Structure 1
Amino acid sequence: MNRILIVDDEESILKALRRLLTLTPCKVGDKIYKFTVDSFASPEAALEKARHTPYDLVLSDYRMPRMDGVAFLKAFRELQPECARLILSGYADLNGLIGAINEAGISRFLSKPWNDYELLAAIGQALALRELTMENQRLADLARLSMGQVSPEEIERKRLEAEEPGITSVIWGPDGSVMIDESLLDDGDQGKL
């Protein structure tokens, strides 16, 4: 099951995309992708969720009121660089497209209204490319490990960070102790500290 994040300021778009992606599996070659979808109307809320939830693909609207798609995907890329990134837009803006490719590293720019088949094909292709890229990185890390250029601990840290974003970020106290960021805890956990 692949986890997808959708960000669009229009609730009707979010509902339509969520319905399409949860009901329609995507096939690329012999591989079938099924999706778990999280959707947000606010890019800021989506970024907050992405700090602790790993995604395989993010699909963002280009024009949103508080933060455009390029700025959102650029910030998202900082959190989860291996995640595939796509932009969906009703506007054909060449400068925006160039910014999305150069700054946010998107793999595809899709237009609204979308064709369901083309959207699913683009998502499947992006996920297949992501899998191939991650396998190449894994093999390169093993080669670097065998040559002594990287330690097993560094490889494990990278793996853990990909599975659980933010897990390797530690806040150190002035005395060398590990500090807990209480804002990241569930309400029920805060009373247990």
Structure 2
Amino acid sequence: MRTSNAIAKGRIIASVFLLASIGISVYFGISAWKWHSDFYEWIDATPMQMTVDLATPSMHSAPFTQTCVMAHGQSIYVAFDDPDANDENIGEYFAGLQGTVTIRDLTGAEVLAKPFDATGVRLWGDDPMLVGFHPFANGDYTAEIKIEQGASALGGTQYDLYARNELCGLELMPAYVLGAISALAALIACVGGCYTVPSIARDGFRVQVPDDVG
């Protein structure tokens, strides 16, 4: 029986599928790694820092660099070094304090405004949280801290204020999902490669088929 070479369409399709699986695995793997890396950068980030006199009515401003719209919240903390401060008495240090934090975009338009006072101050970790708010779109902004009424107990010293992203770990979920997709695509590529690669290595992309008999 006479035969001739023909293109092995099945092997070509299998090769395309194999390459696509590898590409998907690499793409989602890189995306998972980047998300994981970004998460820990968000934890360590301080979008804003400024020095403020909390005892005297005044206005202060500083750049606010927003990079984490994924956070479930953002807060402004006071760097506070007093070993006697605790959850029960922290409000006494800030008694009388009243003010407002305002975030403005580069055109000066108000993005958010949030009042704060002594009753809302809570000790979170090492430092007291002055005020919290929901994240806004990524970008460059200006944060304004207006002290409308000062806390007399904090007189004589200026305090460093800093912003922090509030993250609980759920924000890492997309990284795990992306990683799972990458692993699944890699598994499919490995299984498919076990059949496709040896076949192509042995016979190439052509197959022997019998000629039609006229």
Give the TM-score normalised by structure 1.
Answer: 0.22
The structure with the greater share of residues assigned to strand is: 2
Write 1 or 2 for the structure with the bigger share of helix: 1
> TM-score with structure 2 length normalisation?
0.20
